[in-house]
Structure 1
Amino acid sequence: MARGRPREFDADQVLQAALNVFWAKGYEGATMADLTAATGLKPGSIYAAFGSKAGLFKQVADRYVATVFSYGPQGVEADNIREVIRRWLTGAAQSTTGETTPAGCLLVQGALATSDASRDVALDLCDRRKAAQVMLAERLTQAQQAGELTADVDPRVAARYVTALQEGIAVEAASGADRETLLGLVDLAMRHLPWEA
């Protein structure tokens, strides 16, 4: 049986290079010329390896969630709900203002794609953000069962509140706010969470 020609590139390096392009320019703003320049691959190689620009972006988004957004799954492991929220928002402020990465959040900015051709990409990113919200709501439900949240607090609404702050931090970062400013917003939010007596 004939074996296919082995890939002549490091997939991790290609995905990281493509991630930086999509993160900086968004899905719609990133051209094939941008992607080939960043990855060193010809368009045919990108299509052969990833199927399409959307296929490449899906793998980039998987990488982003597993690496940049790792603060979310790590945050929900904290012992108490205040620390969960602090880690979640601090992670957002830090990840959206990296010294070697673009400002803002790939999942937020990419979801703003408006063309019909980008609709599936935008919906996928919305689903990923909703999955993060569900993860946080589940942790808030556990906190409620442990007596950290009163019965009148809907964990889903509380999770939506925290993710709205997270996404607002990302928009502020993309608009030029620096890390110190965003961490100040986190400190302000943590002074008194709205469901606390």
Structure 2
Amino acid sequence: MLTDAMGISRKSMYAAFGNKEELFLKVLQRYERGPGAYARESVHAPTAREVARSYLEGTVCAGTQPGRPTGCLGVRAALAVGVTGQAVQGILTSWRAKSQADLRERFQKAADDGDLPAGADADLIARYLTTIADGVSVQATAGASPAALQRVVDAALLHWPPS
């Protein structure tokens, strides 16, 4: 389908992009600069709570854009790739780990600066948000409306640690 849409042969596609895994990595990188940019941009919000809100609302927005596939490319691909796709699973695992690490680092800074309570577990907070975001993506893929998903974001933030 891809070669037909591009009007090129398989040989030309591989000559231009390398193997399937390299092509998928390029697609994921482009997604990260487009609809998935919220993940990298959210960590620049001024407070930890605003980082969390930006990250989760970005998930809702990216996953429910009219005229685009629903959900998150990384989550959908991780659910679709089987045993034969170990290389792609590795790419996706690293990609998700990077997002979680960026959040963890930002929340650790927030804890160090007093924006989160002393003793806040930056790793747990980052894991909590990425888990909620992954669930939002799955729900978007299943057809949940932006309004319904925003209610999930609002509920998740009710559990935000007081500063």
The reply to whether TM is greater than 0.5 is yes
Matches within 5 A, 1:1-197: 34-112=1-79, 113-116=81-84, 118-193=85-160, 195-196=161-162
Shift of 1:129: 0.4
Query: d(CA) in 1 for partners of 2:22 and 2:154?
Result: 39
1:79-99 deviation line (CA, Å, top 9, x unaligned): 111111000000000001111
Count of aligned positions: 162
Share of identical aligned residues, percent?
36
CA deviation after TM superposition for structure 1 residue 36, in Å:
1.7
Counterpart residue number, 1:4: none
Between 1:171-180 and 1:38-47, the stretch displaced more is 38-47
Taking CA–CA contacts closer than 8 Å with sequence separation of 6 or more, which of the two structures ends up with the larger relative contact order?
2
Aligned partners of 1:94 and 1:38: how far apart in 2? 27
TM-superposed CA distance for 1:41, in Å, is 2.2
Partner of 1:11: none
- Measured in 1, the distance between the counterparts of 2:46 and 2:16 equals 42
SS at match of 1:153: coil
Measured in 2, the distance between the counterparts of 1:167 and 1:180 equals 17
User: CA RMSD for the aligned pairs?
Assistant: 1.4
- The question of whether the paired residues in 2 share the 8 Å contact of 1:111 and 1:123 is answered with no
CA distance, structure 2, for counterparts of residue 77 and residue 138 of structure 1: 11
Conserved? CA contact 2:59–2:133, under 8 Å = yes
In the superposition, the TM-score normalised over structure 2's length comes to: 0.93
Matched to 1:37, the amino acid is: D
CA shift at 1:72, angstroms?
A: 1.7
- TM-score normalised to structure 1 length: 0.78
Relative to its length, the structure with more helix (as a share) is 2
Structure showing greater Rg = 1
Of the structure 1 ranges 89-98 and 69-78, higher mean CA displacement relative to structure 2 is found in: 69-78
| CA distance in structure 2 between the aligned counterparts of 1:169 and 1:60, rounded to whole angstroms | 22
1:39 offset after TM fit, Å?
Answer: 2.4
Cα contact 1:81–1:143 (8 A) shared by 2: yes
**1:146-166 alpha-carbon deviations (Å, 9 max, x no partner):** 112122321011100011011
